[in-house]
Amino acid sequence: MPAAYGFTAYGGPEVQRFLDPPRPVPGPGELLVEVHAAGVNPVDWKVRAGMHRAFLHLDLPAVLGREAAGVVVRLGEGVDAFAVGDPVFGTTDRGCGGYARFALLTASRTALKPAEVSFTDAAVLPVAVGTAYDGIAQLAPKAGESLLILGIGGGVGVAAAQLAHAAGVSVAGTAAAAKRGFVESLGATVIPYDGAAFGERLRTALPNGVDAILDLVGGDALRSVLPVISLGCRILTVADPETAARFGAHPLKRESTTETLTELARRVADGRLDPHVRSVFPFEDAEAALREVESGHPWGKVALDLRAHR
């Protein structure tokens, strides 16, 4: 079997292929992990498309994947919080490398995997679920307040809805009408963005506006919810800085620490949080897994299982 899946040049899906790079060697602050599962995220195809070239410098060909879970096989210099044989999950070093038999994880952004948490669930926690945790922490909605999540049906939105709902926050979110049942199962009110009369549905669902908005869409998403942006509304966004400034929004900042990942795994283990891994592909179907995410319409999270074979 090939050792990894990645891309040989910046561009579309046609530049993706299986690769056979040498096994990585962990440097200071790194772990070498035998990967059991890897999360598949929109950031992966954006890296391949060259959207992150300005700040993520890669030598091509490069292996895709920003998060993974597996078993430690080697420790880099200065790593003393983990041991060989530990089941772990975390963020891949240098922002790529997770779609592989062996991957490097950054120790300061890696945590031990509880026995109650599957490798596929653990693998999808660092990026989307970690982003949701950071977003809710930065907005700090209190019990009884209202939160509107733009793009609630994706991996980040699904986790953010659960985290806010568990804190006693009244949650609503925009999503495709087809996801109504799924979103409502998270304890949130869905406001379908497709079809006519979105503004009317928005005002009906939130007649008094909202206390906070988590924008996970960018673009024109904030403009579309102007009717519920009242004075004092706290807004966190993934939109570009110019758009953010126009609406008085703040950028969503990532922390992704070992402590955060440990807390997320604890919540999954005791049933308070479900990352909703809806699609698990064997490694040989990595192309199909990324295609599902790149389509822009997955429900919940997508993962690769590197131990599964058809």
ω into residue 207 within 30 of 0, thus cis? no
Query: Residue 258: inside a domain, yes or no?
Result: no
Asked whether the CA dihedral 35, 41, 47, 50 is positive or negative, the reply is positive
pLDDT, one tens digit per residue, over 11-24 is 999 999 999 999 99
Structural domain boundaries, residue 203: 129-251
Question: What's the confidence (pLDDT) of residue 251?
Answer: 87
Same domain? For 157 and 238 the reply is: yes
Integer-rounded Cα Rg, in Å, for the chain is 19
- Confirm whether 77 is domain-assigned: yes
Instruction: Give the pLDDT of residue 266.
Output: 97
pLDDT one-digit tens code per residue, 78-136: 999 999 999 999 999 888 999 999 999 999 999 999 999 999 999 999 999 999 999 99
* Number of residues that make up the chain: 310
Task: Confirm whether 257 is domain-assigned.
Answer: no
β-bridge pairing 62-63 and 4-7: antiparallel
Partnered with residue 105 across adjacent β-strands are 31, 92
Element of type H or E holding 245: helix 241-246
Residues 108 and 141 grouped into a single domain: no
| The predicted structure's pLDDT at residue 275 | 93
Same domain, residue pair 110 and 162 = no
Write out the two tokens for 309. 């074979």
Cβ proximity of 222 and 215 under 8 Å: yes
CA distance 254 to 267: 19
Question: Does 267 map to a domain?
Answer: no
The rounded distance, in Å, linking the Cα atoms of 108 and 36 is: 20
DSSP 8-state assignment for residue 22: P
In the prediction, which pLDDT does 198 show? 85
What is the structure's pLDDT at 102?
Answer: 97
CA distance 162 to 129: 10
Q: What is the pLDDT of residue 297?
A: 66
The pTM score is 0.91
In the prediction, which pLDDT does 298 show? 65
**The residue type at 264:** L
- Asked if the structure places residue 247 within a domain, the reply is yes
Instruction: Based on the fold, state whether residues 173 and 87 are members of the same structural domain.
Output: no
Q: Note whether 133 and 247 are same-domain residues.
A: yes
Structure tokens at 30: 């790194």
Residues (pLDDT < 50) of the chain are 310
Residues 167 and 183 placed together within one structural domain of the fold: yes
Partnered with residue 213 across adjacent β-strands are 148, 235
Check which CATH number belongs to the domain holding 191 and give it. Answer: 3.90.180.10
Kindly state the helix (H) or strand (E) to which residue 19 belongs, with its residue range: strand 16-19
